[in-house]
Structure 1
Amino acid sequence: MRLRDALRQARIEAADRTGVVVDLRDAEIARLEILNEALDPLFAEIPDGVDLFDRGLSQGDTPRLWIDVVAHVMMGRDKRIYRFVQDTRFGRIVLAESHEAAKIVDAITDYVARRLIEREHALTAATPLPAPPAPVSVDKPRRSGFGIFVLGFVAGALALFALALFAALRNM
């Protein structure tokens, strides 16, 4: 564990140096990777059957550490502040913001706990639907559609005959 702590400290120092210099994007990614490693113990405790969380680092124009589909961590404008945000239908809300990775880990831990509780409530609230009642067969007199077809055919033929007669009388 001592070497791991030394590596983490070296990465933090390198990220601090790089954040001041030219390569701000690499500093963002390095800081998010450090936070990602700090979250390993938390995600190791999540039960295997729970698939709510999909943690990963995206390295687009704005690097982000995704916690689940709607929540992620990104760096603030100065590239030293961690900003834990959640996308909602009304816009993005900031759940936590800090220079310290430990505070963001605590905020993410609270978020994960709330999501797990929401999942439990959803699963317990989803009671099985009662079985549909057995269909009751009632003997109804079955009408044939053939009679309606014949009636429509006769009405159409009469209408055509009347139209032809009207056209013939008009031409005279």
Structure 2
Amino acid sequence: MENNSQVFDRLDSKILTLMQEDARLTTAELAQKISLSNTPCWRRLKRLEEVGIIEGYHARLNARQLGWGVTAFVHVMLESHHPELGVQFEAAVLALPEVVACHNISGQYDFLLQIVAKDLEGFGEFARNELRRLPGVKELNSSFSLKAVKTEGSLPIPSR
């Protein structure tokens, strides 16, 4: 996606801030909060979606309540930097629902995965049966979250 930071103004910044706080706001509620009528507010919201600044709307779920007691961060080193191997690895990772985030990174490792598991034993089984079998995996290095300090993930919105 290209940088669309110049596409929005002060009202759009307010819309983005409010939507990150509560994506369930109706257009009418949003319009009232930014002192704009419904139709112009709706148009702004649609434009922010169309240019790709708003990528979607999601519910934030509680991993523990769903039975995911362990969050692991796994650094992955591939056997080579052949482009096709990276494409195969990425496609295989996309098929694993336990991998909740995957980043191609710089440095010693090639990828950083965020993984949820029921418990440590479940993570061990997942690492043996799934992660080690991913295309081109040479090395895995795992760390475990002891406590989530910040998980909100809201982006800072440039003010206009």
Which structure features the higher share of helix residues?
A: 1
- TM-score normalised by the chain length of structure 2: 0.20
- TM-score normalised by the chain length of structure 1: 0.18
Higher relative contact order (CA 8 A, sep 6+): 2
Which structure has the larger Rg? 1
